[in-house]
């Protein structure tokens, strides 16, 4: 196991994490594995989608779009073949949860794909795994081979008359390929640049055919939903957001790790009780709810906040991918803004100008600032350039770069002023003093 | 020109996509090919282009987009140090400086003996076990300065 489980977890998707041979098909079958598929094979496709709608499952990759609704957009009477695509390109900074699902429970993912395949009448699927996760490609390939061997993939699966093939596909290092339309371009052997939408992937996706494209965790939630009913899953969470979320606690926290928490879990309880509080008895300064694309919250904004889409939206942030980043009182927020922007400038695909030029310009401005060479007017310029990217880019990467930057400039303006006039970073010394 | 294992993998990849969509195999073939050949060589590009049915220029256009594909060989041990936000907060940037200083090389550079190369990488998905490093495809979690020192010493000796 990567970290000790917490008694505050609700382990639905992670219930086999850390168990011996949890990735093998025998372990999975002995633990009711593939029974949700059997149940789904006796349901009408519309009933499967209805059950997913009732569950209030929302996309776990970051956007939070209702999954059942997404599936219902796939045109039933299209003569084209239909595809299932799994986004396993996990690369949102702060996020390391899909790794564990594939490592410990690859058959749960395969079963989720099978059920999605039944729901939209797909005949094949692709699991797009980031290239850095080579060991996971090996684990998933082994699981696929086991599933073929035992008749849970291939032709006429378990006598149901349903044919389904599933393949792994490796990326080769590109954050942008986690964006759904860029992922589809990459899957077709091209540069990972986004496609203009509409049409959305449900109508024109992989190989120009109707496609269901979801995150690993989203597919993994489907077998429990079919097995126990959508309502049971919905009841675990809050209104409009059902179930649990794998949450990655990272940064200045005593017990970093991946924990499965119900939607609506209180933020401060998560930090203090699940994560064991801030390292070295420091105070909380800033908090990122779900990956570096989310606007940053101050400690005061975390009071009363809960880990769900609506609570985060009411604080003008997002639940995102589950990559929680905790920052203590000694953190230099200018350095944080700079590191986040360096990332987006590196990963911008260059397809559209506001993102390509905006991220590079902001990286230069923030670098200058952190070195103590910024001017007072630069503070507003950082905010202005960011705001001019918002909503003006081809894909969400531009917003992902702008949103955290705007939030840091607005909420931690004093720290930018403290870096003016050639002053050395006031936090560098303090951060050197931190020891684990 | 390739090992039988790689040939088998290429064959499987070319059969994994719908008819007429063999171009989809290009990026996996380049990455698996690089792992065996050491870098994306002109010969590898020609061969992949031929097998997926595109021109070498089209392969070149695609490969320059992907950060894991290298036209020049990296070291036998490619040490990738994450300095993105979660690792930064756990002093991943200091590990990066330590490695550069110890090896006397910088970003995407290789030691004179070709043994070790360094790359400052973006998030590698090990955020809850920061600071994290990948040596080739192997993850090292919660790396301390002492561990990094020993790790690098081990790579240098292991000729």
Residues A97, A109: Cα–Cα separation, whole Å: 13
Share of chain B above pLDDT 90, in %: 97
CA atoms within 13 A on the CB side of A81: 13
User: Does B71 lie at the interface with A, CB-CB under 8 angstroms?
Assistant: no
Q: Are residues A254 and A122 in the same domain?
A: no
Task: Find where tokens 């070195």 sit.
Answer: A371
What CATH number does residue A356 fall under?
1.20.1440.230
Q: How many domains does chain A have?
A: 3
Cα angle B112, B113, B118; round to 5: 65
Mean pLDDT of A186-196: 96
A/B interface, count of CB pairs below 8 Å: 143
Can you give the residue range of the structural domain that contains A396?
333-433
> How many C-beta atoms surround the C-beta of residue A434 within 10 A?
16
Mean pLDDT of A274-300: 97
pLDDT class for A92, splitting at 50, 70, 90?
A: very high
Q: Are residues A259 and A300 in the same domain?
A: yes
Residues A184, A188: Cα–Cα separation, whole Å: 6
User: Is residue B14 a contact partner of residue B50, using CB atoms and an 8 Å limit?
Assistant: no
User: Is A65 strand, coil or helix?
Assistant: coil
Angstroms from B7 CA to nearest CA on chain A: 17
Residue A373 has phi, psi (to 5 degrees) of -110, 15
Residues 6+ apart with CB under 8 A from A286: A296, A297, A298, A299, A327, A331, A333, A336, A408, A411, A412
Two tokens, residue A374? 């910024």
The verdict on a CB contact (< 8 Å) between B124 and A132 is yes
CATH number of B77-157: 3.40.30.10
Q: Do domains B4-63 and B77-157 have the same CATH topology?
A: no
Q: Are residues A104 and A216 in the same domain?
A: yes
Check residue A426 and give its pLDDT: 77
Check residue A91 and give its pLDDT: 95
Residue A270 is assigned to a structural domain of this protein = yes
pLDDT class for A362, splitting at 50, 70, 90?
A: very high
The verdict on a CB contact (< 8 Å) between B68 and A131 is yes
DSSP state of A304: T
Mean pLDDT of A203-219: 98
* pLDDT averaged over every residue in chain A: 95
Q: Are residues A321 and A283 in the same domain?
A: yes
Two tokens, residue A93? 């900074």
The verdict on a CB contact (< 8 Å) between B85 and A94 is yes
- Each residue of B101-154: pLDDT tens digit? 999 999 999 999 999 999 999 999 999 999 999 999 999 999 999 999 999 999
User: Is B74 strand, coil or helix?
Assistant: coil
Residues A255, A372: Cα–Cα separation, whole Å: 34
- Each residue of A224-267: pLDDT tens digit? 999 999 999 999 999 999 999 999 999 999 999 999 999 999 99
Q: Are residues A220 and A283 in the same domain?
A: no
Q: Are residues A232 and A249 in the same domain?
A: no
Q: Are residues A58 and A130 in the same domain?
A: yes
Two tokens, residue B25? 């195999």
Domain boundary among A186, A203, A236: A236
Residue A75 has phi, psi (to 5 degrees) of -65, 120
Chain B residues touching residue A186 (CB < 8 angstroms):
27
Sheet holding A297-298, edge to edge: A257-262, A244-251, A323-328, A284-288, A297-298
Domain boundary among A266, A301, A328: A328
> Could you tell me the fold of the domain covering B4-63?
Arc Repressor Mutant, subunit A (1.10.10)
Residue A126 is assigned to a structural domain of this protein = yes
Q: Are residues A356 and A278 in the same domain?
A: no
- Each residue of A317-337: pLDDT tens digit? 999 999 999 999 999 999 999
User: Does B15 lie at the interface with A, CB-CB under 8 angstroms?
Assistant: no
Chain B residues touching residue A187 (CB < 8 angstroms):
24
Residue A1 is assigned to a structural domain of this protein = no
- Each residue of A144-160: pLDDT tens digit? 999 999 999 999 999 99
The verdict on a CB contact (< 8 Å) between B85 and A134 is no
What CATH number does residue A68 fall under?
3.40.50.11540
Check residue B157 and give its pLDDT: 66
pLDDT class for A342, splitting at 50, 70, 90?
A: very high
Residues A232, A33: Cα–Cα separation, whole Å: 19
Mean pLDDT of A409-427: 86
Cα angle B146, B139, A281; round to 5: 55
Angstroms from A52 CA to nearest CA on chain B: 28
The number of residues making up chain B comes to 159
Residues A369, A354: Cα–Cα separation, whole Å: 22
A222, A150, B25, A198: CA torsion to nearest 10: -20
Q: Are residues A251 and A392 in the same domain?
A: no
Determine the residue among A123, A132, A343 to mutate to test chain B binding: the one whose Cβ has the most chain B Cβ atoms within 10 Å. A132
Check residue A429 and give its pLDDT: 55
Check residue A190 and give its pLDDT: 98
Residues 6+ apart with CB under 8 A from B140: B132, B133, B134, B147, B151
Chain B residues touching residue A189 (CB < 8 angstroms):
23-27, 52, 54, 62
Mean pLDDT of A189-200: 95
Partners of A307 in the β-ladder: A265
pLDDT class for A1, splitting at 50, 70, 90?
A: low
User: Does B151 lie at the interface with A, CB-CB under 8 angstroms?
Assistant: no
What CATH number does residue A256 fall under?
3.10.20.600
The verdict on a CB contact (< 8 Å) between B85 and A256 is no
- Would you say residue A433 has pLDDT above 50? no
Check residue B33 and give its pLDDT: 98
User: Does B28 lie at the interface with A, CB-CB under 8 angstroms?
Assistant: yes
User: Is residue A216 a contact partner of residue A102, using CB atoms and an 8 Å limit?
Assistant: yes
- Name residues 235-274 of chain A within 8 A of B (Cβ): 248-252, 256-258
Mean pLDDT of B63-72: 96
Q: Which of A133, A189, A192 sits opposite B23 (nearest CB)?
A: A189
The verdict on a CB contact (< 8 Å) between A251 and B90 is yes
Return the residue of A nearest to B16 by Cα. Answer: A167
Return the residue of A nearest to B90 by Cα. Answer: A251
Q: Are residues A348 and A219 in the same domain?
A: no
Q: Which of A189, A249, A256 sits opposite B24 (nearest CB)?
A: A189
* pLDDT averaged over every residue in chain B: 96
ipTM over the 0.95 cut-off? yes
The DSSP bridge pattern shows strands A211-215 and A244-251 to be unpaired
Residues B138, A403: Cα–Cα separation, whole Å: 33
Q: Are residues A64 and A210 in the same domain?
A: yes
Domain boundary among A236, A263, A287: A236
Angstroms from B99 CA to nearest CA on chain A: 17
User: Does A2 lie at the interface with B, CB-CB under 8 angstroms?
Assistant: yes
Structural domain boundaries of chain B?
4-63, 77-157
Q: Are residues A71 and A214 in the same domain?
A: yes
pLDDT class for A435, splitting at 50, 70, 90?
A: very low
> How many C-beta atoms surround the C-beta of residue A75 within 10 A?
12
- Would you say residue B158 has pLDDT above 90? no
Check residue A432 and give its pLDDT: 39
Two tokens, residue A53? 């709608």
């Amino acid at each position: 196991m990567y970290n000790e489980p917490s008694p505050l977890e609700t382990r639905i998707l992670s219930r086999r994490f850390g168990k011996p041979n949890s990735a093998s098909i025998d372990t999975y079958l002995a633990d009711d594995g593939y029974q949700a598929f059997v149940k789904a094979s006796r349901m009408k496709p519309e009933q499967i989608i209805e059950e997913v709608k009732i569950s209030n499952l929302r996309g776990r990759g970051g956007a939070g779009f209702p999954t059942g609704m997404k599936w219902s957009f796939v045109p039933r009477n299209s003569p084209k073949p239909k595809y299932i695509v799994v986004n396993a390109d996990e690369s949102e900074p702060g996020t390391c949860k899909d790794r564990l699902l594939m490592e410990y429970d690859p058959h749960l993912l395969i079963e989720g794909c099978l059920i999605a395949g039944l729901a939209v009448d797909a005949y094949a699927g692709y699991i797009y795994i980031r290239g850095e996760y080579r060991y996971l490609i090996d684990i998933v390939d082994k699981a696929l081979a086991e599933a073929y061997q035992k008749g849970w993939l291939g032709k006429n699966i378990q006598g149901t008359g349903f044919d389904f093939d599933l393949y792994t596909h490796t990326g080769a290092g590109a954050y942008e390929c986690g964006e759904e339309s860029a992922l589809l371009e990459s899957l077709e052997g091209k540069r990972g640049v986004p496609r203009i939408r509409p049409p959305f992937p449900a109508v024109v996706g992989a190989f120009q055919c109707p496609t269901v494209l979801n995150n690993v965790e989203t597919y993994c939630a489907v077998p429990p939903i079919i097995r126990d009913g959508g309502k049971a899953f919905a009841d675990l969470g809050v209104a409009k957001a059902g179930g649990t979320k794998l949450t990655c606690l990272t940064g200045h926290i005593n017990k970093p790790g991946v924990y499965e928490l119900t939607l609506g879990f209180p933020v401060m309880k998560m930090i203090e009780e699940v994560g064991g509080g801030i390292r070295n008895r420091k105070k909380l300064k800033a908090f990122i709810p779900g990956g570096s694309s989310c606007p940053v919250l101050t400690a005061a904004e975390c009071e009363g906040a809960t880990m769900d889409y609506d609570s985060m939206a009411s604080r003008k942030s997002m639940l995102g991918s589950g990559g929680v980043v905790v920052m203590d009182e000694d953190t230099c927020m200018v350095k944080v803004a700079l590191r986040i922007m360096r990332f987006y400038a590196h990963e911008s695909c260059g397809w559209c100008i506001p993102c390509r030029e905006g991220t590079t310009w902001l990286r230069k401005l923030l670098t200058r600032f952190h070195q103590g060479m910024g001017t007072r007017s630069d503070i507003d310029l950082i905010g202005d350039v960011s705001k001019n990217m918002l909503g003006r880019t081809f894909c969400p990467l531009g917003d992902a770069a702008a949103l955290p930057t705007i939030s840091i400039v607005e909420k931690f303006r004093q720290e930018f002023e403290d870096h003016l006039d050639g002053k050395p970073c006031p936090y560098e010394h303090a951060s050197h003093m931190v020891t684990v | 020109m390739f090992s039988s294992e790689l040939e088998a993998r290429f064959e499987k990849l070319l059969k994994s996509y719908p008819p007429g969509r063999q171009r989809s195999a290009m990026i996996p073939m380049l990455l698996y090919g690089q792992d065996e050949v050491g870098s994306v060589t002109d010969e590898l590009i020609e061969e992949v282009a031929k097998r997926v049915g595109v021109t070498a220029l089209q392969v070149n256009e695609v490969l320059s987009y992907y950060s894991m594909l290298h036209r020049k060989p990296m070291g036998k041990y490619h040490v990738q140090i994450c300095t993105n936000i979660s690792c930064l907060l756990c002093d991943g940037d200091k590990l990066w400086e330590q490695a550069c200083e110890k090896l006397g090389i910088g970003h995407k550079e290789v030691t004179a003996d070709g043994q070790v190369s360094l790359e400052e990488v973006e998030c590698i998905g090990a955020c809850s076990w920061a600071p994290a490093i990948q040596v080739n495809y192997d993850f090292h979690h919660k790396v301390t300065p002492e561990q990094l020192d020993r790790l690098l010493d081990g790579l240098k000796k292991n000729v």
